[in-house]
Each structure stands twice: as structure tokens, then as C-alpha cells.
Structure 1
């Protein structure tokens, strides 16, 4: 595996601190450039770690790291108590699921199919991921509308129960993925060999250093996204767009490292790695975010609206149905990629023009 030398001298903590302390005086364009460079560095070090520990641990670690930082960002913004704080978790989780299952999934399936014509993966692992994901999304984003007379709000006891169930379900999935049935999430034997798989893995010292740099890069991605948030909000307001667009943009920025890694894996004919990243990230987003914000809501007495509106429920239902069908044959072509991208386009358009 090619070691990109510049990624070892990139200093994310200093750039991230500068974005917070001097965010108002740093041009947004420069912050955007720094964000892109940081994402590329994060992806490179994540791939080094994955090459060392093997699948599916590498993709799981990246998804977990990004999600933990995303949760921290959501909790911080909720505690600030700004307008729209009660729907922030719902909007972020829903946007992340739609971006992952439609935008990201469609992009890497399409690009992988254009290069390799047809790609394969382990059906049993993907089916387990989708079953867990369908359950989590319905329990957290749909059921609140029908379980109480308070609209999109769970009652405190209901919220606590759903938070516990969501966390237990996610932890069970992680145990199955990494311990009991790890082979379900490995590339199929007939898949084309990855040319980089035979490269010597990094040493222990290099892996530890890559881990430290990866964490610093992921922290910087969130700091930069937070620094860019005021400029994004001003741009959205000046364009007369709905405030929900801000959540979509921030979710997309936070998901950049995983998105780049997933697309690169599919282009290298490692579709299983891409699916592990995408589905694992979606599961972690719900399984960790909802319990965390539920605890904050219960202990701080903050309102938490989780239920989607009718448009969101329709798009989420369509997404889950199509994803289940498009990944039902253990093989993908350009058609599946185009279908998911079309749904993603509908999501973006209806968000911009509600």
C-alpha cells in the first residue's frame, strides 16, 4: 500500500484549533480547502489501520470513530439551545441515513459497476445489517408519531425504553459482525483479488501513529464543520432555503471521510468493504446517537422531537424497500446505483423545495 508522506506531517490539532479560535476571520473557502485535505489524510490513515487489523475491524473502527465525534457535535449544539435544537438529532440522523443509503450507496455502486461491470458481496452479512437498520430506523424515526398523542415526541418512559433497545440492538450487531460471525462480513472468495491486499501491512508503531492522526483528523473535520456552520446558515438564509438544509450540509461534511473511503474501496473492486462502511455507519449513527441524545434529553429536560413528517416517512420507507431489493442478489450493476442516486436527488430536491 502506498504511504502518502504528506499525511504524516499534516497537523490537524493546530488547524482545528485555529478554525475554532479564528473561525470568524478565516475565509470560508480556506476552511473548505483545509477540510478536504484533512478528509484525504483521514481516509489514508484509516486504510492503513484497516490493512493492519483486517476486515471488518478496519471499517468498523472508522465508522465508530466518525459517529462518536458526530454525537459529540450534536450534543454540543443541543446544549446551546438555539432555534431548532429539539429537531437537530432527528434531522441529522435522517439526513445521514438518506445520504448513506442513497447518495453514498448509489455513488460507489455506480462507479464500481462502471469500472468492473458487476461486483459481488456476502449476502448473509448485508441482510443482517439491513434487518437491524430497518428496525432501528422505524423505532426511532417513525414510531414516535404513532405511540403518543404528543406528535413526534416520545413520552419519557418510552424514550428511555427505545434508547436502551436501540443500544442493545446495535451492540448485538457489533458482536455478530466482529466476533461470532465475522466471516459473514468478509469479501466472497470469488471476488477479484485486491492488488493492495498483498502489500506488507504497517508495523505496530506506524499503526499506532496512524490511529492518533486519524482521531485528530476526525476531530478536525467536526471542528471545521462547526466553524463553517455560521457561513452555511447565512448562505441558506440568504438563499431563502429551509433551515433543514443546514443539517443536510453538516451531515454530509461529517460523513466525508467514510464516503471517500467507501468510493475508493468500490473502485478497487472491494464492494464488501464499501458496504461494511456504509451500512455500519448508518447503524452506528442511529444506535449511538439516539441513546446519547435521549440521555441528555431526560436528564436536562430538553425537548426531543424524533418523529419524521409524512414526507420523511415516505422517503425513508422507499429507501429501505429499495435498498433491501437492490442488495438482495449479492451482485450489483449500474442500475442499482442509478436508482439510489435518483432517490437521493428526490430527497435533496424536496428538502430544498418542501
Structure 2
């Protein structure tokens, strides 16, 4: 192990401890907002790192599933914490965050992966069967969670009734659980790298031992607790800051999605550069599926428990962008190979989404 790698491991081991201590201290001591924000980001980075360690131990495709679940736990924790901290602004926070995460994954993350991989390797290939199944599941989950509420009549506006919300939560869980079963058990070969991807040295790197894996599991748990508690401490400050800037409410969802997905996004881009596009797409689409399949049920439970209406339906502009992104993604991933062009298209779609968020 190189000195650089040892230093990186120590840093990732210290960040969860520092985050946990800061989270406990926040109950009794006034902490600076910027200090808390930096510790929060460090805890998120550490959480994803330790999830990657565990993922490397269990191997593909279970590894990408663990990563996706870990990121989603962080996202759900942040959303529920912020919803409870500011109930008056909570009705659309889940929708904005889930939509932002889908747009970040489908356009920014996928665009960066396709572009960086194509620049280095000209053309990259992946298994269409597994990726097609993931995209089909994502399309159903996205439309049912974010579009259908606008067209139901049991409750006015972009809301599901309590019965409908409970039904959609169950459907989301069933779809995600079925996809996870297919990915990890019944048809796991559809999600494994094939061809030249199998010859990449990173795939054959020695997995961590039991002691290292157990330590990462403990530190992952500490990181997740720290993220939730620090987010609760920071939420009033962040809300006031966005209000001072005059930013639209949807910007908070973009910030949450960007911070949470940044570490995993870097891992996906690194995989694409290493000519492991299958792993890269598994990470991206798996995160998108977990974001909707697990976040919506968690938010639905909170909504029903505290009788807080949750607006899930997107406005017309966002609905158009969602459909456009899903259609373009289905075309991009249709033939099992990608070039620079597809990467640029997805990045431009994300630029359009970001611009229209700040300039609605």
C-alpha cells in the first residue's frame, strides 16, 4: 500500500468520527454554518467511500447495489430531516430533490461518463439487456411518482390522496425490489462487465479483508448518523441563505442531489475512463432507481404519519424535461455502444434543466 493510499484511508476513517462528534456537539454548542457544511460534505464523502469498500468486498453487481442504497439512505435522511425542520416548505422538497437527482444522474452524470470514456476510448460498449431493464423500470417509477399525480382526481393539484400515496409507495417498493432481485440473483450476468472490461486491473484488485470491511461498516453507520444530525442543524441557515439570494425553492433540491451524488458520480466517471462503462452505468441507473424506489415510500410514510400533504406532481416545464431526458436516454442506450455525441447531448440537456431552474 502506497503512502498516498494510506493517507487517503486514514482521512476517510477520521471524517466519520469527526462528523459524529460534531453532530453530538451541535446539541450543546453553537457551531459555525460553514464549519458544519464542510463537516457534512466530508461525512457524505466518507460514507460513499466506506460503501465502496464494502461493495468491493462483496463484488459486482452487489457492489453497485450497496453503493446506490447507501447514497439513497443519505438522501432520504436529508429530505426527512429538512421536511421536519421546515414543514411549511416541505410539501415540494421531496419532489424537487427526487427530480433533481434523476436529472443529475440521467444527464450530468451519464453525460460526463459517456463523454470522458469516449474521449479516451473513442467508442465504448455495454450489455443492453441489463441497462434496458434498468431504464424501463426507471421510466415507470418516474412517471408514476412525478407525473401521474397531476392527472388523478381524488385530490386536487399535484397531490395523491392518502390511499393513492400508500398504493404508489407499495408499487415503488415492489418495482425496486424486483429489479434488485433480477440484478443480484436471477439475471446478474446481464449487469456484469463483459469483453475487454474484464481485463481491467481494477476489477482484479485484492478485495479488503474482513477486519477492514467490518470497520468500514461501522464508519459508514457513523457517517450516516452524522449526515442526518448535521443536516438538521444546518437546515434553518441554508433556508435563510437561499431566501436572501432570492433563489427558487427548487434550488434546494438541486443542492441536496448534487452534494449527495458527487462522490458516487466521481466513482462512475473513473469507471468510464477505465473503460468499464457497464459498471459506470450500473452506478448511475442504480442510484436513480434507488432514489425513487426508496425515497418515495419513505416520504409517503412520513406524510401519512404526520398528516403532511406532499406535492409530487411536476409542473409542465419539468414534465417536458423529464420526458425528453427519458426518451434521449433510451435512444442513447439502445444499441449497446456510445460515442462523444451522446455525452454532449446529455450534458446540454442538464445545462437546459439547470438554467431553467434558476431562470424559470
Same fold, judged at TM 0.5 (above): yes
Change (3 A) 1:111 1:289: same
**Aligned partners of 1:222 and 1:254 also within 8 Å:** no
Q: 2:296 aligns with which of 271, 290, 295?
A: 290
**For 2:278 and 2:355, how far apart are their aligned partners in 1?**
30
* Cα offset, 1:38, TM superposition: 4.2
**For 1:42 and 1:74, how far apart are their aligned partners in 2?**
17
- 1:47-80: CA deviation from partner (whole Å, max 9, x where unpaired): 3323221111111001112212322222232233
Give 3-state SS (helix, strand or coil) of 2:308's partner: coil
**For 1:13 and 1:294, how far apart are their aligned partners in 2?**
32
* Cα offset, 1:20, TM superposition: 6.5
**For 1:288 and 1:241, how far apart are their aligned partners in 2?**
28
**Aligned partners of 1:49 and 1:211 also within 8 Å:** yes
**Aligned partners of 1:147 and 1:154 also within 8 Å:** yes
Q: Are residues 1:246 and 2:252 paired?
A: yes
Gaps of 5+ in 1: none
| 4+ residue runs over 6 A deviation | none
Q: Are residues 1:137 and 2:142 paired?
A: yes
**For 2:225 and 2:127, how far apart are their aligned partners in 1?**
32
**Residue 65 of structure 2 aligns with which residue?**
60
Q: 2:275 aligns with which of 266, 269, 276?
A: 269
Q: 1:323 aligns with which of 314, 320, 329?
A: 329
* Cα offset, 1:344, TM superposition: 0.7
- 1:303-352: CA deviation from partner (whole Å, max 9, x where unpaired): 11111110110010011001111111211221111111111111111110
Residue correspondences, number:
354
Structure 1 range deviating more: 199-208 or 2-11: 2-11
**Residue 55 of structure 2 aligns with which residue?**
50
**Residue 187 of structure 1 aligns with which residue?**
193
**For 1:253 and 1:282, how far apart are their aligned partners in 2?**
15
**Aligned partners of 1:153 and 1:306 also within 8 Å:** yes
Q: Are residues 1:74 and 2:79 paired?
A: yes
Give 3-state SS (helix, strand or coil) of 1:84's partner: helix
* Cα offset, 1:27, TM superposition: 4.4
**Residue 15 of structure 1 aligns with which residue?**
19
**Residue 95 of structure 1 aligns with which residue?**
100
TM-score by length of 1: 0.91
Query: What CA RMSD, in Å, does the superposition of the two structures yield over aligned residues?
Result: 2.3
**For 2:243 and 2:21, how far apart are their aligned partners in 1?**
27
**Residue 183 of structure 2 aligns with which residue?**
177
TM-score by length of 2: 0.90
**Aligned partners of 1:109 and 1:334 also within 8 Å:** yes
**Residue 157 of structure 1 aligns with which residue?**
163
Structure 1 range deviating more: 48-57 or 90-99: 48-57
Gaps of 5+ in 2: none
